[in-house]
């Protein structure tokens, strides 16, 4: 059994702020990234939480990630925006891009935002949540410019990233529907989490370096690398392809076709479609039908092995409530990697551990 710490949320914020200041980020950026990463842990997506920091430090030290960037408008066509993230922290660039898109969608009824050259945008559902808070439907197609880690359907090696898709639907008087997933069987960070915990990955998720099925997470973490499989066979692979063509070719003007595995930066391209349901449809009818369908679906009796039917977004909110109350579990390997990364930024490791109350 690997050692794991449970860190109080307030203390974790204090500790991660110390690490983030090592990048030389402005205080608003420190706060935005700290909150976004910890929220990923709180919602149960440790793959996109504070465990990303070592990778961010490597990217920063290779100058592939640039602190203190703000989104730049390349094209303003009213209800279509083309934006450039300047390789800045995706937590800031993504937020600014969404704010611009949301304002336009509220003005015009819809907006298409093409965002390129943003460093890692983290949990894409966070951007869908932002849109639903303004009453908007949102769709997000995302590509990943980094070492290829997912095999095409029928292929034996990796050719693209975990290309996430997300969507948000506001539900008046209820929490929104937030569908948000990698198009691979599992997120890449989950192989790292399993590796650090000394666990196997589930079957049918990963290929080894010869294209054979394996449950050993090291094929996702250390060379010689294997490849993740896309979810849903040819269907998930098809969605991954769309994410590359829409988030990459269309939105970012960049797709993944490089053999360069030395680059540690993770650039995301994201095509976002924002729709104001009140501008497109009869709002009352939309809300009525949405609620009626959700209630109908949730009324299905739970089958063996399940406790209830959930709607996308609910598992994250349940985990958020639990971890906010009881603390965030962080395995010892991940914590020591974060401390090493802090050290590389010139941040005092002992201060970070003391802030988190981890000894
Ligand atoms: N920025 C990037 O480059 C990048 C790349 C890949 C993934 N990601 C992020 O990684 C995160 C994790 O992705 P993942 O593929 O591991 O997610 P996942 O497999 O845990 O799936 C999450 C989705 O499934 C829904 N869900 C889960 N259990 C459910 C249930 N029992 N009933 C109904 N719905 C349920 C969740 O609400 C959520 O919408 C996501 O936030 C994604 O955006 C980011």
Give the C-alpha separation, 311 to 294, whole Å: 8
The verdict on residue 224 lying in a domain is no
Give the C-alpha separation, 49 to 233, whole Å: 28
**259 and 239: one domain?**
yes
pLDDT at residue number 1:
53
pLDDT at residue number 3:
81
Strands (E), 184-252: 206-207, 213-214, 227-229
pLDDT at residue number 56:
98
CATH number for the domain spanning 2: value is: 1.10.1530.10
The verdict on residue 167 lying in a domain is yes
The verdict on residue 52 lying in a domain is yes
What average pLDDT is seen over the chain? 96
The model's pLDDT over 245-277, given as tens digits with 9 standing for 90+, comes to 999 999 999 999 987 778 899 999 999 999 999
**248 and 176: one domain?**
yes
**172 and 28: one domain?**
no
Cβ neighbours of 235 (radius 10 Å): 12
**CA 265 vs CA 64, 92, 164, 268, 343: distances in Å:** 5, 16, 17, 10, 19
**126 and 153: one domain?**
yes
283 compared with 121, residue with greater pLDDT: 121
Residue nearest to atom 17 of ligand 1 (CA): 181
**149 and 252: one domain?**
yes
Test site for ligand 1: of 178, 187, 239, most ligand atoms within 8 A of the Cβ: 187
| pLDDT at 46 exceeding the cut of 90 | yes
Test site for ligand 1: of 181, 188, 217, most ligand atoms within 8 A of the Cβ: 181
CATH number for the domain spanning 164: value is: 3.30.1370.60
Average pLDDT for 11-31: 98
**12 and 94: one domain?**
no
Per the structure, how many domains does the chain have?
A: 2
**248 and 334: one domain?**
no
Q: How far is the CA of 180 from the centre of ligand 1 (A)?
A: 5
Test site for ligand 1: of 180, 265, 270, 319, most ligand atoms within 8 A of the Cβ: 180
Give the C-alpha separation, 97 to 200, whole Å: 38
The verdict on residue 23 lying in a domain is yes
The verdict on residue 242 lying in a domain is yes
The verdict on residue 236 lying in a domain is yes
The verdict on residue 134 lying in a domain is yes
Average pLDDT for 74-99: 98
Minimum-distance ligand 1 atom for the alpha carbon of 126: 41
Opening angle at CA 263, ends 259 and 268, nearest 5 = 90
The model's pLDDT over 158-195, given as tens digits with 9 standing for 90+, comes to 999 999 999 999 998 999 999 999 999 998 888 988 99
Residue nearest to atom 28 of ligand 1 (CA): 315
The verdict on residue 192 lying in a domain is no
Q: Which residues constitute the domain of residue 107?
A: 69-184+230-315
DSSP code for 67: S
**299 and 152: one domain?**
yes
Strands (E), 146-266: 150-151, 165-169, 177-181, 206-207, 213-214, 227-229
**277 and 331: one domain?**
no
**43 and 100: one domain?**
no
Q: How far is the CA of 201 from the centre of ligand 1 (A)?
A: 16
| pLDDT at 228 exceeding the cut of 70 | yes
**140 and 239: one domain?**
yes
Q: What percent of the chain has pLDDT above 70?
A: 99
**CA 11 vs CA 95, 119, 333, 351, 356: distances in Å:** 24, 26, 19, 12, 5
**266 and 171: one domain?**
yes
């Amino acid at each position: 059994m690997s050692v794991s710490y449970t860190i109080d949320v307030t203390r974790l914020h204090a500790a991660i702020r110390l690490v983030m200041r090592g990048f030389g980020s402005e205080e608003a950026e420190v706060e935005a990234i700290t909150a976004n990463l910890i929220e990923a842990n709180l919602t149960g997506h440790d793959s996109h939480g504070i465990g990303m920091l070592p990778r961010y430090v490597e990217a920063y030290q290779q100058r592939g990630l640039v602190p203190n960037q703000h989104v730049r408008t390349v094209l303003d066509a009213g209800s279509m925006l083309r934006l450039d993230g300047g390789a800045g922290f995706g937590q800031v660039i993504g937020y600014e891009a969404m704010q611009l898109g949301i304002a336009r969608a509220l003005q015009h009824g819809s907006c298409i935002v093409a965002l390129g050259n943003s460093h890692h945008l983290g949990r894409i559902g966070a951007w869908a949540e932002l849109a639903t808070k303004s009453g908007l439907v949102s769709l997000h197609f995302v590509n990943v410019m980094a070492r290829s880690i997912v095999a095409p359907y029928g292929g034996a090696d990796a050719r693209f990233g975990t290309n996430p898709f997300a969507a948000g639907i506001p539900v008046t008087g209820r929490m929104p529907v937030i569908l948000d997933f990698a198009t691979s069987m599992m997120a890449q960070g989950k192989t790292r989490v399993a590796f650090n915990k000394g666990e196997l990955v589930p079957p049918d998720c990963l290929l080894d370096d010869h294209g054979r099925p394996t449950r050993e997470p090291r094929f996702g973490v250390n060379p010689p690398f294997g490849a993740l499989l896309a979810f849903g066979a040819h269907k998930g692979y098809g969605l991954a392809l769309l994410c590359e063509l829409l988030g990459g070719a269309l939105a970012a003007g960049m797709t993944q076709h490089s053999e360069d595995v030395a680059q540690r930066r993770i650039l995301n391209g994201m095509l976002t479609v924002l729709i104001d349901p009140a501008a497109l449809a009869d709002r009352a009818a939309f809300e009525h039908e949405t609620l009626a369908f959700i209630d109908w679906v949730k009324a299905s009796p739970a089958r063996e092995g399940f406790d209830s039917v959930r709607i996308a977004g609910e598992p994250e909110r349940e985990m958020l409530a639990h971890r906010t109350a009881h603390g965030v579990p962080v395995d010892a390997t991940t914590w020591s990697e974060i401390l090493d990364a802090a050290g590389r930024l010139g941040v005092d490791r002992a201060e970070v551990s003391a802030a988190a109350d981890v000894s």
